[in-house]
C-alpha cells in the first residue's frame, strides 16, 4: 500500500492539492503533510479550453504543496467534474456458474459486465465510464440484503448498476495537462464521490442525504441512500453567476461585485438589502434545480440526512438557510475543522475533494465500486505502471 498519496482537485476557480500520509491506525484519517493551491486558468464550466494554461496552474499548486510536505510528487489522483459528468443506469443478469449454485466473485464480475453491455450505445458515445457502482443484487428474483451476495446460493443473479461517465476528450485533456506538468495519473475520480469521503458520515449515507458542491461555475450533487450513491448531477451554475448578478444589479465592476459577495467591503455605499436580495434570488434558483432533480428521482423531502454543502460558494452566510427553505430538508455546511485536516489549517469544505482523493488513493474506493473487466492491453498497461514504481 502507498504511504504517501497526492490528490489534485482541478476546479474552475482554483486548483487545490493535498499531500497526505497513510495513518498507522487504520481507524484514523490520513495525515495531511502539505497543501497548495493556484488560480485555475484554461477551464470553463469544468472542461478544459487550454491544456497548457491549466498545466501551469497544476504545476504551481503541486510545487507549493510539495515544498510544504517536503515530498517530490510523481503520481497523483485527480478529480473530474464539470457539466460533462453524467449518470446512467442498467440491469444485468447471468446464470451462476458453479454446479453447487454458490455465487463467486467471478459471477459478480460477469453480471456487472452484463449490465455494462446493456447500456444504450448512445450513452457511451464519446464518453468513458469512470465508475460502475452496484446499487443492489437479486438472486432468483429476490433482492439481496447487503452489499455482496458472494457465498450465497441461487441459479440466477441480477444487478442494478449506476455508471458515472464523462466526456472522453475531457478526461484525456486532464490527463495530458497533468502529464505536461511532469506527473503520472494513478486514477480519475468523480469530484462528488471524492468529496463524499470527507463531507459525509456513515449515518448520513445510510439514512439518505444529498451532498452539494457549489463551485465557481458548476453546482454538483450526489445523492446517497443505503450507503451507496444513487444519483449524480451537475448543473452549469455557480458562484460566478452570483458575482455577475451583483455586477449587473448594482452596475459595478465584477471585481468589486466579487468582494461584495464575499463580504470583504466595509462601509459599502450599496444597500445591504439589495445585495442580500440579489444573492438570495440566485442561490434560491440553484436549489430549485436541486429540488427538481430530487423530484425526478422521487427523493424530494425523503432524505433524513438532509443536504450537506461544500465548495467555495457554500461559505456565504445565507446559503444553508436558503437550502433548508427551498428543499425542506435539514441543512448544514461541511467542515474539515476536525481530525487530521485541522493540523494544516484546512478548515472549510472547499478542500473536501482534494482531501477525499487522498482517502480514495489509500482505500482504492473501498467497496464502493466494482472494477471493470479489463482487456489484455489494459492489463499490460497496468503491469507496466506497477513496474515503473520501482524504477529510478
How do the domains of the chain map onto residue ranges? 4-83+168-190+341-386, 86-166, 202-333
Per-residue pLDDT band at 313 (split at 50, 70, 90):
confident
Model confidence pLDDT, tens digit, residues 130-144:
999 999 999 999 999
Fold of the domain spanning 4-83+168-190+341-386: Nucleotidyltransferase; domain 5 (3.30.420)
List, for residues 40-51, the tens digit of each pLDDT value: 888 876 678 889
345 — pLDDT class (breaks 50, 70, 90): very low
Among 3.30.930.10, 3.40.50.2000, 3.30.420.40, 3.40.50.150, what is the CATH number of 202-333? 3.30.420.40
Mean pLDDT on 280-292: 95
> What pLDDT is stored for residue 85 in this prediction?
92
Mean pLDDT, rounded, for 110-132? 94
H/E element, 295: helix 272-296
CATH code, 86-166: 3.30.1490.110
pLDDT band at 125 (very low <50, low <70, confident <90, very high): very high
Q: What is the pLDDT of residues 86-99, one digit of tens each?
A: 999 999 999 999 98
pLDDT confidence bin for 1, thresholds 50/70/90 = low
* pLDDT confidence of residue 127: 94
Residue at grid coordinates 473501498: 366
Are the CB atoms for 198 and 352 separated by under 8 Å? Answer: yes
Q: What is the pLDDT of residue 381?
A: 43
Mean pLDDT of 322-347: 71
Domain 86-166 shares a fold with domain 202-333: no
Closest CA to 1 of 18, 17, 27, 23: 23
Query: Do residues 160 and 112 lie in contact, with contact meaning Cβ atoms separated by under 8 Å?
Result: no
What are the two backbone dihedrals, phi and then psi, of residue 19, each rounded to the nearest 5 degrees? Answer: -110, 125
Q: What pLDDT was estimated at residue 341?
A: 46
131's grid cell:
465508475
Distance CA 233, CA 212 (A): 10
Return the ∠ at Cα 207 (arms to 201 and 211), rounded to 5°.
55
High-pLDDT (> 70) share of the chain, %: 88
CA separation for the pair 38, 64 (Å, rounded): 9
- 239-243 long-range CB contacts below 8 Å, 24 or more apart? 239/13, 239/214, 239/215, 239/311, 239/312, 239/313, 240/12, 240/13, 240/216, 241/282, 242/278, 242/279, 242/282, 242/283, 242/313, 242/316
How many angstroms from the chain centroid is the CA of residue 59?
21
Distance (Å, rounded) from C-alpha 261 to C-alpha 263?
5
Confidence (pLDDT) at 106: 94
Distance of CA 337 to the CA centre of its chain: 20
Question: Quick one: average pLDDT of 5-33?
Answer: 88
Amino acid at each position: 500500500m502507498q504511504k504517501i498519496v497526492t490528490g489534485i482537485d482541478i476546479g474552475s476557480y482554483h486548483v487545490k492539492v493535498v499531500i497526505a500520509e497513510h495513518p498507522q491506525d487504520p481507524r484514523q484519517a490520513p495525515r495531511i503533510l502539505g497543501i497548495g493551491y493556484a488560480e485555475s486558468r484554461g477551464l470553463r464550466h469544468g472542461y478544459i479550453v487550454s491544456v497548457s494554461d491549466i498545466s501551469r496552474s497544476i504545476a504551481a499548486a503541486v510545487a507549493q504543496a510539495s515544498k510544504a510536505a517536503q515530498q517530490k510528487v510523481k503520481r497523483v489522483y485527480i478529480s473530474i467534474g464539470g457539466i460533462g459528468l453524467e449518470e446512467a443506469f442498467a440491469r444485468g443478469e447471468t446464470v451462476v456458474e458453479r454446479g453447487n449454485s454458490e455465487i463467486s466473485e467471478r459471477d459478480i464480475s460477469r453480471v456487472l459486465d452484463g449490465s455494462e453491455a446493456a447500456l444504450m450505445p448512445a450513452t457511451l458515445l464519446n464518453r468513458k465510464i469512470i465508475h460502475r457502482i452496484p446499487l443492489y443484487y437479486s438472486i432468483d428474483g429476490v433482492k439481496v440484503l447487503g452489499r455482496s451476495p458472494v457465498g450465497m446460493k441461487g441459479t440466477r443473479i441480477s444487478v442494478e448498476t449506476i455508471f458515472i461517465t464523462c466526456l472522453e476528450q475531457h478526461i484525456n485533456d486532464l490527463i495530458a495537462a497533468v502529464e505536461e506538468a511532469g506527473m503520472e495519473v494513478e486514477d480519475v475520480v468523480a469530484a462528488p464521490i471524492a468529496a463524499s469521503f470527507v463531507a459525509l458520515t456513515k449515518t448520513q449515507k445510510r439514512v439518505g442525504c444529498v451532498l452539494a458542491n457549489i463551485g465557481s461555475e458548476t453546482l454538483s450533487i450526489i445523492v446517497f441512500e443505503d450507503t451507496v450513491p444513487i444519483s449524480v448531477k451537475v448543473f452549469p451554475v455557480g458562484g460566478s453567476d452570483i458575482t455577475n448578478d451583483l455586477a449587473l444589479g448594482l452596475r459595478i465592476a465584477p471585481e468589486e461585485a466579487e468582494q461584495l459577495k464575499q463580504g470583504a467591503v466595509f462601509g459599502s455605499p450599496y444597500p445591504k438589502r439589495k445585495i442580500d436580495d440579489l444573492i438570495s434570488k440566485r442561490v434560491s434558483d440553484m436549489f430549485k434545480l436541486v429540488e427538481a432533480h430530487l423530484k425526478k428521482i422521487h427523493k424530494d423531502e425523503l432524505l433524513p440526512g438532509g443536504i450537506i454543502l461544500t465548495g467555495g460558494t457554500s461559505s456565504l452566510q445565507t446559503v444553508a438557510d436558503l437550502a433548508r427553505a427551498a428543499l425542506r430538508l435539514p441543512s448544514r455546511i461541511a467542515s474539515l475543522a476536525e481530525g487530521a485536516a485541522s493540523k494544516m489549517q484546512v478548515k472549510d469544505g472547499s478542500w473536501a475533494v482534494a482531501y477525499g482523493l487522498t482517502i480514495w488513493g489509500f482505500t482504492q474506493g473501498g467497496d464502493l465500486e466494482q472494477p471493470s473487466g479489463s482487456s489484455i492491453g489494459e492489463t499490460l498497461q497496468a503491469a507496466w505502471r506497477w513496474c515503473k514504481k520501482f524504477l529510478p
